[in-house]
Amino acid sequence: VERASPACKPSSVIQCCSRLHCWRRHTAAVLGRVINGNNSSTAISTGRMKHSPCAFQATSGAVLRQKAVFLKKFAHTPCRAVCMMHPLSQKRNEERELPETIREARHAASGKTVNLIVMAPKDAPHLDSLKTLPACFRIVGIGCTVAELSNLECKWESVDVMLVYALWLAFVNDIKAVFSKASNLKWLHVATTGVDHLMAPEIVDSDVIITNAQGSFSHSLAEWTLAACNWFAKDLPRMRASQKMKKFDPFEVEELRGRVMGIVGLGDIGCAAARLARAFKMGVVGMRRNARLSAEEQQEGLVDKIYPPEEICSMMSACDYVVVALPMTSRTDKLVSKAAIQAMKPNGVLVNVGRGKTVDEQALIEALQNKAIRGAALDVFEKEPLPEDSPLYDLDNVLLSAHSAFKTRTFRRDALQSFLDAAERYASGQALRHVVDKDAGY
């Protein structure tokens, strides 16, 4: 990319050559050689640079994949730095505007056609909303398998973007097969939140940017979480039993006000649950890898304290309600361990709206059977569908939901809207939001 300025001196040039040594580690080795008017040179090596008047960053996956050489002339300073960065090198999901020069280098809506394949049943609901895609997008095929997509309106190597409508487990092998055919794919969007089933080596090791529908289901899951807390606090099963027996049975109920909610996995879903808990005047603590509160988080006052994962037992021992909102990764597998469950208060309640395998289910069943904790509300399970012989079905201190806490009347349309919003950013050259960290797995 080269841009001239009337006052620019031809000798004031920065040539920046970037090579991605390890895409999965999200680092870029940047070597810039500044050539000044005396024909001497100074080498500049940097890993990460923030926005400043003398630096710009390229967050375009397409540009990075080409390992391009950028030339730019500057008018007012003999030496300026040019930094190419991976889109994940800054805080995830932070909105980053691309400089005008980089936006021009990307496919603009008025320029290159973006070929899109949609991995979904052709009769899937709400696909009609894709009619509002930016004008530069062209749907070249809709289907669930390579065979169904065999009559593409372009060559496989010309496919730029793939939209995965849903991430069913039985669907994963088909996704991998289509992914391998689209050899020049630049962006893969999954219209779900969890992407653990998609983290195959051929996808993780590729240059393809993956985004998900983060935030689309957070409020519905947060509402279910608070409903589950109230299910125990108000003893709704007792009310229903008394009603069925036509028995007028006054009894004391519990308030959520003043109780402490601990959130294991303070991500988008966890934060949504925390906001509703605050509305009930609950105390809120959280657990995540970064245990420091940012200035914005301190100002919002969303949580009172954040614990690191190694202190999960300490956190759970201090909570009346423990909400698990973890993604499934190698690091979170049974993170809510037997020891963590044993650390809970006798009147503690565990609510899981994340992934079933993040909780030691057998240890939880034992705690529930022995009345070591008050109860559990579970929307997800170690094995789904939950087997008919699972002891969870027979426990009266358990509330079960068939992985449907997020399935509102509009959840599919909401998920597709996240893709439409991302497509607008993609077409206009803006950085994508909700980029999946392939190493972290979410």
Catalytic one of 92, 103, 197, 403: 403
Question: Is 403 a known active-site residue?
Answer: yes
Q: How far apart are CA 165 and CA 223, in angstroms?
A: 24
Sign of CA dihedral 313, 314, 320, 326: negative
CB atoms within 10 A of CB 304: 11
> Residue by residue, what is the 3-state secondary structure of 185-216?
CCEEEECCCCCHHHCCHHHHCCCCEEEECCCC
Concatenated DSSP letters of 141-202: EEESSTTTTTT-SS-GGG--EEEES---GGGHHHHHHHHHH-TT--EEEESSS--GGG--HH
Catalytic one of 355, 374, 412, 434: 355
Catalytic one of 100, 157, 311, 384: 384
Return the structure tokens found at 362.
């057998």
Residue that has been written with the tokens 């969870």 in this structure: 392
Burial of 152 (0-12, 13-18, 19+ CB in 10 A): middle
Question: Is 384 a known active-site residue?
Answer: yes
What's the Cα-to-Cα distance from 148 to each of 119, 120, 181, rounded to whole Å?
Answer: 10, 10, 13
Inter-helix orientation angle 218-233/268-279, to 10°: 50
Do the Cβ atoms of 77 and 103 come closer than 8 Å?
A: no
CA 84 to mean position of chain CA atoms: 24
Q: How far apart are CA 391 and CA 403, in angstroms?
A: 17
What's the Cα-to-Cα distance from 130 to each of 115, 125, 179, 418, rounded to whole Å?
Answer: 13, 11, 21, 11
Residue type, 362: Q
What's the Cα-to-Cα distance from 87 to each of 63, 103, 105, 307, 396, rounded to whole Å?
Answer: 11, 14, 16, 27, 48
Do the Cβ atoms of 190 and 435 come closer than 8 Å?
A: no
Q: What residues are labeled active site? A: 355, 384, 403
